[in-house]
Structure 1
Amino acid sequence: MGLKKFIKEAEKGFPSGFYFLYSKDPFFLSEATSRITDKIPPEKRSFSLMAFDMENSSGSVSAIKDVIGVLNTAGFFGGRKTVILKNTQALKKADIKVLSGYLKDPAPDSLLVMLATKSPPALLKELLNGHNLFALDMKERELRLWAGGVARGVGVSIDPDALNYIMAITGGDAGRIYSEIEKLSLLGKEGIGLDDIHQTLPGTVQSNVFNLAGSIIQKDAKKTFRIFNSLKEGLDPYSIIGAINWKFADLYRKSGKERGGYYRKAFKYMLEADRRLKSSGGEYPLEELLIKLLQI
């Protein structure tokens, strides 16, 4: 798990002069940034911590040269200077060439942390040698383990069914998982079950989530879209897909896995809708999903 390895580097005080971290999920990049910031005393941050966003730069080589100029300038009072380079994936080939020159001979008293939404280009990857390169994205199993760790960190234990539901309604979004767990910790209970999660949802939302799945299976189009329209006010599209998916999975298990073909088609359509939402957004993928599910 890349995040765990990076945390170990943070605990050691970032012994290397540069690191490259990448993730599609902005939450993990934000978490990494917090780890970096926490290592710098608050009273020193104003002059020893600097951040540059390459996505908002002019895109010229001069922007990366400015960053390198800061890195090569001695810090105040002889302290270590930390520079965070955000959206490194936006750098052009000419920028990368200049940056690679710095990585070959980094300033001894500076720390450069490069953040990106995708893995580095070949030229940078070669210089990173794998030791300073951290992929923060997690597979589902890793994400579940991470969520369990977050729960333990706030003093709660979440049972498997409850965790399945959280994973479903959040679409595996780390920031939303974190937020849901924090919200559940406010219930003042050590053990969190599915009923506890339902307590955090408005009553109408909770009942409508399950009624929606039922109306789809009953092929009641009018009821399905009536419930869907009411849910749009209380849940975002990812949560609606996640809730339907969770309920269908629950019904599939309880049915003794009968009607396997029906459920496999349903899960396939939900996966396609989830991908469409992540690529384009909007509510139409959801409406098309409901139509497809009603027609199975």
Structure 2
Amino acid sequence: MSYLKVKKEVQQGRIKPVYFMYGTQTFLMEDLMFHIIKNTVDSLDDPNVISFSLQETLLDTAVEEAETFPFFGGKKVVILKDFSLVTALKQETKLEHDVSRLQQYIKQPSPEAIFIIQAPYEKLDERKKITKELKQSSTLVECFPFDDKMLFLWLDDQAKTNGFHFSNEGKEQLLARTGPKLLMLASEMEKLALYVGENGVVDAEIVDLLVARSLEQDVFALIEFAVKQRLDKALIIYHDLLKQKEEPLKLLALIARQLRIYYQVKEMTRRSYSQKQMASQLKLHPYVVKLASQQVDKFQGKQLLKLLEAATDTDYAIKTGKMDKVLAVELLLMKLASVHSK
């Protein structure tokens, strides 16, 4: 079941006895956990909220806690983190876990407890019995990077939670400024909510006013200006980043990474890969692939290869002391504008 669907159920008070959350987006796990707690015992500091890590605690202990009657009645929330027993990963603990206890529990969970199991891993081992049992007998929540549609739905949901609304341009501009980083987006939306007030509307102009670009987005803008032969704008961003104490070698690495993404997306587009397939193959967020896809038509494949070689040569020249690092990156930006103009 999707994170947004489960969250809606939780907000409506339809809370299930066992939740199994897995995937690489731990922010979604923590956010959903917060809403479950808020709608059951109200506070993270409540004595009826107990958290364990499987790397430090026997599985028996967590199950016994879930079976124990809550303090002062009411409900109890038991959280079991780092649940690696559903993966093929080698266990980094000497603890001997009795998986059968958990299998018995999820078939007949305690009516006084909400048991939250978190597995922050990309893949599950479908051969394991406990994996099958959890997928069958608990509320399964997949916590993976959103595609475009889900990302926009999530932004609307977060805006509603914070008491304001987005214009379409506002959402696009926020993503352009921060990238698809959920934790950063959530933090920025709290700031936007304070600015526009209850039932306010956040548009692109307000985002520009309040939200600073991330380093990755600055590098993206820097390359885009160079591609458009607006070298003056590209150099202004570059020197602003230097004033912020960003290292030229770090900026060079980010420029090279972005060019590499462009080349990979260009080649995969030529081979008729979908953006979803590209994101999966390259292990990139779908929104990053979308932005790259909008840029690659401005390049030929050979041009991108030349630029990647130039970035490698620049890195070598800096590290061998043949060229000043600030000047070397400036020359690379000039080459970026020059190669594209040809």
TM-score (norm 1): 0.66
The 1-side partners of 2:65 and 2:233 are apart by 62
- 207-216 or 184-193, larger mean C-alpha shift: 207-216
Tell me which residue corresponds to 1:183: 191
The 1-side partners of 2:42 and 2:17 are apart by 21
The 1-side partners of 2:188 and 2:208 are apart by 12
Aligned Cα root-mean-square deviation (Å): 4.5
Tell me which residue corresponds to 1:197: 207
**Conserved? CA contact 1:216–1:224, under 8 Å:** no
SS at match of 2:176: helix
**Conserved? CA contact 1:79–1:109, under 8 Å:** yes
Deviations 1:228-277 (A, max 9, x none): 3533639998x99799x96994xx6xxxxxx9351889999xxxxxxxxx
The reply on whether 1:127 has 2:128 as its aligned counterpart is: no
The 2-side partners of 1:130 and 1:266 are apart by 54
**Conserved? CA contact 2:221–2:234, under 8 Å:** no
The reply on whether 1:173 has 2:181 as its aligned counterpart is: yes
Tell me which residue corresponds to 1:29: 29
Equivalenced residues, count? 258
- 99-108 or 140-149, larger mean C-alpha shift: 99-108
Deviation of 1:31 after TM superposition, in Å, equals 1.0
The 1-side partners of 2:218 and 2:178 are apart by 18
**Conserved? CA contact 2:37–2:44, under 8 Å:** no
The 2-side partners of 1:47 and 1:10 are apart by 22
**Conserved? CA contact 1:3–1:136, under 8 Å:** no
Q: 1:71 aligns with which of 60, 66, 80?
A: 66
Distance 1:225 1:96, change over 3 A: farther
Tell me which residue corresponds to 1:114: 117
Query: What letter corresponds to residue 115 of structure 1 in structure 2?
Result: Q
Distance 1:246 1:140, change over 3 A: closer
The 2-side partners of 1:88 and 1:96 are apart by 11
Deviation of 1:143 after TM superposition, in Å, equals 1.0
The 2-side partners of 1:53 and 1:266 are apart by 50
TM-score (norm 2): 0.59
Tell me which residue corresponds to 1:218: 229
The reply on whether 1:136 has 2:143 as its aligned counterpart is: yes
The structure richer in helix per residue is 1
Tell me which residue corresponds to 1:146: 154
Query: What letter corresponds to residue 7 of structure 1 in structure 2?
Result: K
- 118-127 or 19-28, larger mean C-alpha shift: 118-127
The 2-side partners of 1:178 and 1:136 are apart by 16
**Conserved? CA contact 1:212–1:227, under 8 Å:** no
**Conserved? CA contact 1:165–1:246, under 8 Å:** no
SS at match of 2:205: helix
- 183-192 or 76-85, larger mean C-alpha shift: 183-192
**Conserved? CA contact 2:174–2:211, under 8 Å:** no
Distance 1:267 1:196, change over 3 A: farther
**Conserved? CA contact 1:266–1:293, under 8 Å:** no
The 2-side partners of 1:196 and 1:125 are apart by 46
**Conserved? CA contact 1:159–1:191, under 8 Å:** yes
Deviations 1:168-200 (A, max 9, x none): 333211122222222223332733332222212
Query: What letter corresponds to residue 191 of structure 2 in structure 1?
Result: K
The 2-side partners of 1:153 and 1:44 are apart by 19
The 2-side partners of 1:42 and 1:187 are apart by 27
Deviations 1:36-81 (A, max 9, x none): 22123458964322011234x1xxxx62121122122233344332
Q: Which runs of 5+ in 1 are unaligned?
A: 253-258, 269-286
Q: 2:238 aligns with which of 228, 234, 240?
A: 228
Tell me which residue corresponds to 1:160: 168
Distance 1:217 1:76, change over 3 A: same
Query: What letter corresponds to residue 65 of structure 2 in structure 1?
Result: V
SS at match of 1:50: strand
SS at match of 1:187: helix
Tell me which residue corresponds to 1:277: none
Identity of aligned residues (%): 20
Tell me which residue corresponds to 2:12: 11
The 2-side partners of 1:106 and 1:114 are apart by 13
The 2-side partners of 1:63 and 1:45 are apart by 23
Deviation of 1:3 after TM superposition, in Å, equals 2.7
Query: What letter corresponds to residue 203 of structure 2 in structure 1?
Result: G
Map 1:33-112 → 2, pairs under 5 A: 33-42=33-42, 46-55=46-55, 57=56, 63-89=58-84, 92=91, 94=97, 96-112=99-115
The 2-side partners of 1:202 and 1:103 are apart by 46
